[in-house]
Amino acid sequence: MPDRNDGEGAAEGVASFLRAAAPPGRAFVNLIPYNPGSAPVGRAPTEAEVESFARRLRAAGAFVKLRSPRGRALMAACGQLGRVD
């Protein structure tokens, strides 16, 4: 989430956690952009922000799969809970 968990050192923190939690190559980050829904706690990241965070994760040694957001209009996207009125 922009300005919440993407700051300086966040990518290295995630990569460090993965190194401690699993043998090399046995864990990866499934990076899913935040979906604001109907009661947002922040804004959705831009594509550039998501790509930048993915690059920083990779540079820190993490394996990263970048997911594309889908289903936002139906309130059915990953990381999004809500209802359509």
> Domains of the chain: which residue ranges?
10-74
Within 10 A of 12 (CB to CB), how many other CB atoms are there? 15
Please tell me the distance from the alpha carbon of residue 12 to that of residue 85, in angstroms, as a whole number: 40
Angle at 63 between CA 47 and CA 20, to 5 degrees: 125
pTM of this prediction?
A: 0.80
pLDDT in tens, the chain (85 residues): 898 889 989 999 999 999 999 988 899 999 988 887 777 888 889 999 999 999 999 999 999 999 877 666 666 666 555 555 5
The pLDDT assigned to 74 comes to 62
